[in-house]
Chains A and B, each alone.
Chain A
C-alpha cells in the first residue's frame, strides 16, 4: 500500500511537471543575432527602412501656408520650440534608427556572401546607403552639426560621440548618394517591385546640395535627372490629378511612399474631417491661409498687387489655375455641397440632395466654420468623404522639384540661360495644362534678370509645392522665416463685423519682394486669428534633443536653446 502511494505521488509529479524546459525563446519572431545570413534576410532588413517612419518632408503647419483652427499654432509658429520638443526628437530618433540599421546592415551584409551574389548585395547596399544619406541630409538641414556615425558603435562608444561639422557630414552624404546613383537601377519594370532608383539618389542629392547652398552640385545632380529623359521622368499632364489616386504611378514621381487603407496605412476620419467642409460632415479645421491664397499670380503672370486682372471681390477670377486646383473656389460644388462661407449664405445648394440645405460652412451658422474662409482641395476628392479615410501616397520627391532646383541653382550661379527659363516654364505650363511651347496660353517667363528670376522661382516653388512639405525648409534657407512667421494669421471678420460690401476681401493685399503679404492696413476688415512668433536667434536650427544631452554632456547645443 505504502509503495503504491509513493509510486502514485511520483507518477503525478513526473507527468504533471518536471518536464518544462527553461531554455525558452520567443514564439512569435526571430531573436537570433545571426541575421543577415542570406538574401531573404538582407532584403527583409532593407524593406524595414521603406516605412513611412523614415520618409517625410516637413510639416506644412510650420509655415505661413497652412493653419489649424483648433491648434492655433505649434512650437515653430509660436516660437516655443525647446530642447524637449517632440517633433525635433522624433526626427532625430527616427533618422538615427535608420542610420544604425544601415550601419548594422553594411557591417553584416557579407555574412550572406556564401549564398548571395555580390551584385545583389551591392544593390541592397546602394539602397541602404541612399537611405542613410537621406537621413543625414534631414538631420543637418534641421540641426546643423550632428553626430556622424558611420558604423555600428557600442554603448560605451556612444557616450563619447560629439557633433561633427555639417560640411564634413555633407561630404560623407554625397559619397553615399554617389554610390547609390552608381549602383541603383534607373527604372523597375513589369513585375519588379519599385524600389529606390538612381534618379532617387540624384534627386535627394540635388535637394541636399540646394539646401546647403552648393549650387553646382545641385545643378549637376538635377541636370543628371533631367538628362535621363522623358521616358524615365516627366511632368504629369494634369496638375490636380497628380495628387489623387490617378497620379500615384505617374512618371513625375521620383520617390513616393505608398499608403493604402486596405494595408492599414491611412488616416482615418479624425484627420479627414479636419480637411473637408462642415456641410460634408467635416470640421474644416486644417485650412489654407490667406497668405498662400494671395501668393498665386494672375493669369498675366503678375502678383495680385501688380496685376490689373485682380479683383478682391472676385478673388478667384483670372488666377493661376493651380489656385483653384489646390483651394476650393467659393460657390462651386465641393464634395456634394456648394462651398460658400459668406455670412448671409444661410443655405446652399447641394448636388448630393438636389435641394438647398442649411449652410454649416458659414460662421453665421456654425461657430467654428470658415476661419480663413478657405478649404484645401489639393489631393482631396470625393473618396475622402465617402470613406472618411485617405490613403494618398506620400510624395517625397517629384520631377517638378528637379526642374525648379535646376533653375534655382543656375540662377544662384549666375548661369542664366534658356535651360533655366525652360525648366521654370515647363512647370508653369503644366500648371495651366498646356505645352511649354504654347507660350500664349500661359504666362511664360522671359526675363533674364537674376533678381527677378530669383523672385519668380521662389514664388513658383511656393505655389507649385504647397502642402508637400517643402515650404518650411525654403523659409529656413532663404532666411524668410523671421519675416513670414512673425506676422499674425488673419482670417475673415466675424459675421456681425463683416462689411458685406467688402466681401470677401477689403482690398488688394500689398506683397513685398519676398512674397510676404501685409494685412496690417485692413484694420477690422480682417480678423487676427493667431499670433506667430519666430526667434531668429535660435529657430533657424532645431535644438539638439535634451534627452541625449543628458546622456552625453559632450554633445553641444545649438545657440540660444
Chain B
C-alpha cells in the first residue's frame, strides 16, 4: 500500500516537473581512486524527494527543476558531494570516505557505524583479503589487524595458519570463534577468500560478550558478499602461481659424513665404523659399483620439482533486482607439492539470495558447499614424510639402481619408492551449510529475525599403505628388503551435524533527534552431533586394489564413536547514543551448556562500554586539524566452554584382554575408570578491561586507533597433576589464572596527488601473558607454565659454554656422563651435579611478541599497486634442530652448519674455544640438545608478505563482446625475510623442524568482467 502511495507521489511529482520547467542533467560517477564506474549511486535534488541512481556503467540522467543549482551525490562508503550544475554532462569522481567514519562495522548479531563503536573491533575489507592472494583466509590475516597474531608452520598445499587474538586466553584451545554470516563454523578456511565482503575481529570482552561462553578467545565475523540492487555482473578470475621454498637446510657430503660418523662413534666409546681405506675409496667404489655404493642427495631427490604450481578459477555471478538479489560464486583451487602424490584441491560454491517478499517481510537464503581434498604420500611404518626423509637419510643409501629400479634405500626405507608406490593418504571433506533467515518488520524500527542454519560435514579418509618389495641389483628376483610387513587399508567416515537456530528482535529508534537507541534481544541454540566409523584390513595379497574387500579376512578391525553437545542461550544488548557524543553499550548473555554437570552449567556474561566523541563538543569544534576524536572504555566477561564433551563425568573406558579358552585365544572385555573425575568442572571466564582512542586528523587523511587492554582468565581448565600412585590418569580441573596485557596501535594515511591515490597503513600490537595462578605446574617439559612467568616459557638449563678440558669437567657440576666437548651447564641448586630435576630454570617466553604489519596501496590511472609486510619484533626460538643436531635417529645426516664449528679432539685449543656446537655424540645427545639457552636465539623477523601490481583496461573493442573490464596482475608472496639466524643456518623463522618448507609464491592472474 505504501509503495502504491509512493509511486503515486512520484507520478504526481513528475507530472508537476513536466508542467514546470525542467532541465535534463546527466553524467557519470566513478570512483576517484580506481576509476571504476560506480553503480547505485544516489543522485538527489536538494529539498525534494526526487532522485535517481546510476546504472551499471555509472551513468545517470535526471530531470531537475529549472532553478536547481546543485545535486547531491551520495554513496555508501564515499564522501557525500554537492555538485554544482554546469549545464554540461557531469564527470564525477567520488572519493572514498576515510573508512573510520562512515564505515559500517559488523558486530555481534548486528552492525554499527564505526564512529559509534565503543568496543575494540578490528576490520579487514574483502578487498584486502583477496588482495593478499593466499589460498586460505587465515594466512591472509597475517599482519592485517593489530592484535591478531597469525602463525604459519608449513607451506604444504592447503595448510592454513593459527590465529590468536590478543595473545593467550586459555591453556586449551585458543582458536577464536569463527562465524560466517552469523553462523558458527569450525574452520575459517572453508570460505573462499573472494567471497569475503569484510571481516570483523571482536577483540575485547565488551564486543565479544554477546557470544558468551564461546567468545573468550575473541570472535572473527566473516560477512560474505551479497548482490546490490541494479547489479548484473559476471566476473571470471584466473590465477596461476608457482611456489618455492624460502629456505632449505644443507648437509655435508658423503666423505665428511663417513669421517664425522667415525668421530662420533669413537666419542661414544666405540671404534671407527668406517676404515680409512673404505672412506678414501668410497667415491671410486661409487663409480665402479654404483649399485652397491651410493652417493645420494636425498633432499634434492625428494624435492622433485623446484617450483610447485598452484592455480585458481573463480566465477562470480551477481544479479540484483528489487525482489531478488543473488550472488553466486564457484571457485576451484588446487596446489601441488614439491613432490608427487601430494596435492590439495578445493571446490567452493556459494549462493547468497536476498528475497523481498513484501514490504514487511524479507528473507535470506544462503547455501554454501565446500569440498576439499588432499592426497598425501603415505608414511611407511614409523617413518615420516618425504621432507623428513630427505633431510634425515645420509648419502650412503641409494634411491635408484643404474637400471632405474628402486634400490632399497636404508633397508627398505626409500622415500622415492614411497612417493611413487607407497600408496596414499587421502582426505575428502564435504561441507554443506544452509542458512535461512526470515526478517519481519511488524512496525517501523523493529525487526524480528528467525534464523535456522544447519551445517553438515561428511569426511572421508582412506589410508592405503602399499607394501614395496626391494630386490637385489644382481639377482633381480631376490628380495632384499621391504618397506612394511603388509599392504594395509584403513578407511574412516565421519558425520558432523550442527544445527544453529536464532531468534532475534532488533529495535532501533531515534528519539527527538538526539537520542539514538537500539535494543537487541535474542535466543540461540546450537546442537552438535558427531559420529565416526572406521574400518581396516591388513594383509592385502595384491597391491593396487585399495578396497576393503580385497584385504585379508584375518586381520580386520573396526571402530566407531559418537558424541553430542548442546548449548542454549539468551542474550540482549542495549546501545544508546546521545547527540553522537556520548555512547553507551551494554551486553548480557546467559548460556547453558551440556558439557557441565547440571548444577554447574549456567553462566551469565555481562559487558558494557562507553564512548565519548570529543570532536562533537563545542570546545573542540574549532580545531581544524583534528577531524575526529573518540575515547572508549570497556569492561566485560566472556567464557570458554571448549573443554571436552563430558569432562565432569566418571567415564569408564573399555579395554580388551586376551585369555585362553582351551587352546584358543579369545578376547574378553574389560572396563575401568582411567581418569580421575572432577564433577564440579565449570566455565573458564575471561574478564577484559580496555581503553582506546580513535582519532582522525587533517580532514580524515590520517587516522589513528590505539587500544590498551588488560585481561584475566580464571578457572582455566588445566590438567590437574595428581600423584600417579593415586592410580588415575590426570583429570582436568578449573585451576589456572592467566593474565594478558597489551596494546594495539593502528595508523592509516590516505591521500592523493592528482590522479595518484595512495594509502598507507601500519599496525603494531603486543600481548604479554603471565601465569597468575596454577595449582600444579605439570610435567616439566621444554616449556612450562609457572606462576609469575609468561605462558609457555622456555624451561631449560643455563649454559656456560662448552667444556674444554677433562680438568674442567672434573671440577664442574655436570651430568654423570659429561665429557670435554659437551655443553657445560650452570648448577642451579649447588649440589655439584646437573640434573633435569633441579637445575632447569625459566629461560624466557616462547610466544611471539610485538607483532606488526602494514600495507601500502597506490594507483595511478588503471595501474594499481599493493605491498604488505608483516613481522614479529620479539620471539625466543630454538635453533632448528634439523640444522644443528647431527645424526638424527643415530644414522642420519650431518648438517652442513657443523663442520668447522663443533668441538672436536681434532681441533686446536683455539678452535675449540671458538666452537659453536658441542662434540659429535649420540650418548650425550639428550644432555647437549636439551633445551638450554645455548640453543635459544631471537626468532624475530620482518617479512615482505605480498607485492601486487595490476593494470585495469577497458578497451572499447571488447565492449562489443560484452566485456566491461579486464584487470591483469602479477604478485609475489613472501618475497624476502629478514631474520636473526646466523649465516650458516638457512632456515625460515616460521618453519617447523623437518617440516614442509614455508614457501614463496610468484603468481599472475586476470579478472574479466562482463
Contact = CB atoms under 8 A, between A and B. Distances in A.
Contact of A269 (B485, B557, B562, B728): B485
Given A22-B601, A262-B555, A97 B669 contact: no
B726 A528 contact: no
B650 A33 contact: yes
A20 B661 contact: no
B725 A20 contact: no
A216 interface: no
Interface in B720-759: 721-728
Interface string B549-565: 00000110100111111
Given A47-B668, A353-B477, A101 B727 contact: yes
Contact of B725 (A29, A158, A269, A530): A158
B923 A72 contact: yes
A130 interface: no
Contact of B560 (A28, A147, A353): A28
A24 B728 contact: no
Contacts of B292: 365
B450 A13 contact: yes
A174 B72 CA distance: 100
Contact of A48 (B663, B670, B725): B670
B459 interface: no
Contacts of B486: 387-388
Given A44-B669, A281-B480, A496-B275, A13 B501 contact: yes
B527 A17 contact: yes
Given A80-B815, A100-B728, A494-B271, A28 B562 contact: yes
A528 B816 contact: no
A322 to B, nearest CB: 26
Interface stretch (B181-189, B223-231, B651-659, B895-903): B651-659
Interface in A77-107: 78-80, 82-84, 89, 92-93, 96-101, 103-104
A96 B723 CA distance: 10
Given A35-B671, A82-B835, A93-B724, A263 B652 contact: no
A201 B673 CA distance: 26
A16 B358 CA distance: 24
B442 A2 contact: yes
B861 to A, nearest CB: 52
A357 B721 contact: no
Interface string A5-17: 1101100110011
Contacts of B387: none
Nearest to B674: A97
A269 B817 contact: no
A293 interface: no
A386 to B, nearest CB: 10
A551 B890 contact: no
B623 interface: no
A367 B273 contact: yes
A500 interface: no
Contact of B485 (A5, A190, A268, A283): A268
A178 to B, nearest CB: 24
Interface stretch (A113-121, A410-418, A429-437, A540-548): A540-548
Given A32-B650, A496-B275, A191 B662 contact: yes
Given A16-B499, A488-B269, A84 B836 contact: yes
A227 interface: no
B448 interface: yes
A47 B657 contact: yes
Interface residues of B, number: 112
A423 interface: no
A191 B654 CA distance: 24
A155 B452 CA distance: 46
Contacts of B722: 155, 158, 551
B503 interface: yes
A18 B501 contact: yes
B457 interface: no
B277 interface: yes
A9 B922 CA distance: 70
Interface in B751-810: 776-777, 779-780
Contact of B726 (A9, A96, A529, A535): A96
B888 interface: no
A264 B651 contact: no
Interface string B272-284: 1111011000000
A161 interface: yes
A441 interface: no
A281 B274 contact: no
B665 interface: yes
A275 B610 CA distance: 73
A80 B815 CA distance: 8
B658 A388 contact: no
B594 interface: yes
A278 B481 CA distance: 8
Contacts of A438: none
A387 B454 CA distance: 48
Given A27-B563, A155-B676, A12 B438 contact: yes
B382 interface: yes
Nearest to A529: B270
Given A30-B671, A494-B275, A535-B816, A82 B836 contact: yes
Contacts of A273: 411-412
22 contacts: A6-B440, A12-B450, A17-B501, A17-B525, A21-B594, A22-B568, A24-B594, A26-B645, A28-B562, A29-B653, A44-B670, A70-B891, A72-B890, A72-B922, A89-B724, A100-B728, A153-B726, A269-B381, A350-B478, A358-B472, A367-B273, A547-B724
Closest 5 CB pairs of A and B: A100-B727, A48-B670, A388-B485, A17-B501, A531-B269
Given A48-B657, A96-B725, A96-B726, 4 more contacts: A9-B440, A16-B452, A50-B670, A547-B779
